[in-house]
Copies of this chain bind each other. A is one copy, B any other.
Amino acid sequence: MPRNQQILLDNRPQGEATTGNFKLVATDTPALADGQVLVRHHYLSLDPYMRGRMNESKSYAASQPLGEVMIGGTAGEVVESRNAKYAVGDKVVGMGGWQEWSVVDGNAPGMLRKVDTAHVPLSHYLGAVGMPGVTAWYGLVKIIAPKAGETVVVSAATGAVGSAFAALAKARGCRVVGIAGGKEKCRYATEELGFDVCIDHREHGDLKAMSKALKEACPDGIDGYFENVGGYILDAVLLRANAFARVAVCGMIAGYDGQPLPLQNPALILVNRMKVEGFIVSEHMEIWPEALKELGTLVGTGKLRPRETIAQGLAAAPEAFLGLLKGKNFGKQLVKLVD
C-alpha cells in the first residue's frame, strides 16, 4: 500500500492561526476491508470554515480534535476498490481531509460522490460545483430569495462562494455588488465574474467610508446581503438596507481569531424589518441536487468561470490556508496533491 502523508492539528491557535498549529506526518495506508475503496486525492479544498474548527470554543460545527487529520473536502480518483459501486478510475469527491490518500467506506451515505469530469473539471467540484457553490445557492435562493431588479451584496466577492453568488444572482436579474480586498480583485469581479460594481474594502476601511461607498454602489438601497466577513462591513450594510432586507450569515471570518466583533446597531434590524439568518449548508442536504444542477450548468455553459489559486503539494497546505484567511488567494484556494 502507498505511503500516506497527512497534516494533523497539533495545537490550537492563540489568537491568529500559524503554521505551528499543524504537523506533517507520514503513515502507511491500511489494507482495504470489504466495502472500502482507496482514493488518491488530486485536490484538497481549503475553506474559511476550517479556521472555526481549529478553536476549542463552541463553533458552528464540532471542534477539530487535536492529533487528528485536519478536516477538508477532497477530489480524487479511485485507485483500488472492494466495493461494487466504485471502479478503479472513478472520479470522486468526499471529505478525505488534509492527506494524500484516504480509505473510505463506499456504503456509508454521503461519504463519497462520483462526478462527471467530461464537462466540469475535477477541481471545480470543490468550488463552484461543490460545497462553496451550494453555500452561495442556499443563501441566495433560500434566505435572500431575491426578486428581479433587487440589489444584492456579497462580501469576499471573488472567493469561491462570492463568485458563484454573482452568477446565480445575475441569472435572477439582480443588481449584484461585491466587496473585495484590492484593485485587482475588484477588476476581476466586474470584468470576469459579472458584478455590476465591486467595492475595495482596502480603500473603504471604516464604517463611514464603506457606508458611503455602498450608497453610491446601491442607489436603490440593499435588499439582500450575503455575509462572509462580519465587522464594520455588516454595520455599513445595515445602514443602507431597505425595508424587509434579508441577510444570509454564512461566515464571520473577521472574528475567527477570537477578537470581539460587535454589531453596532442591531436596532436597525427592527427599523428596517430585516431578517438575519445564519446557516450551514451541510444541514440542508435536500437542496444540494437542485443547486448542483444549476451550478454545473452555469459552469458548463461558461456563465460561471471560477478562478483557482493552486498550491502544490500537501506540505504547502498550512501556508496556503493562512493566506486564504488573509485574502491572499484569488478565487478558490486548492492544494494539488498529484504532479
Give me the interface of A with B, judged by CB distance under 8 Å: 58-60, 230, 234, 249-252, 255, 260-267, 269-280, 283
Contact = CB atoms under 8 A, between A and B. Distances in A.
Contact of A249 (B249, B263, B269): B269
A186 to B, nearest CB: 26
Given A255-B267, A274-B278, 9 more contacts: A60-B273, A230-B267, A249-B269, A252-B270, A260-B264, A269-B277, A273-B277, A275-B278, A276-B276
Nearest to A284: B273
A267 B276 contact: no
B276 A280 contact: no
Contact of A262 (B250, B266, B280): B266
A319 B59 CA distance: 47
Nearest to A239: B58
Given A265-B262, A267-B252, A278 B273 contact: yes
A234 B266 contact: yes
Copy tally for this chain in the complex stands at 2
A279 B273 contact: yes
A60 B271 contact: yes
Contacts of A59: 271
A250 B271 CA distance: 10
Given A275-B276, A275-B277, A276-B277, A261 B270 contact: no
A266 B265 CA distance: 11
A269 to B, nearest CB: 4
A256 B59 CA distance: 33
Given A59-B271, A275-B276, A266 B252 contact: yes
Most B Cβ at <10 Å: residue of A260, A278, A283: A278
Nearest to A256: B267
Contact of A260 (B260, B265, B276): B265
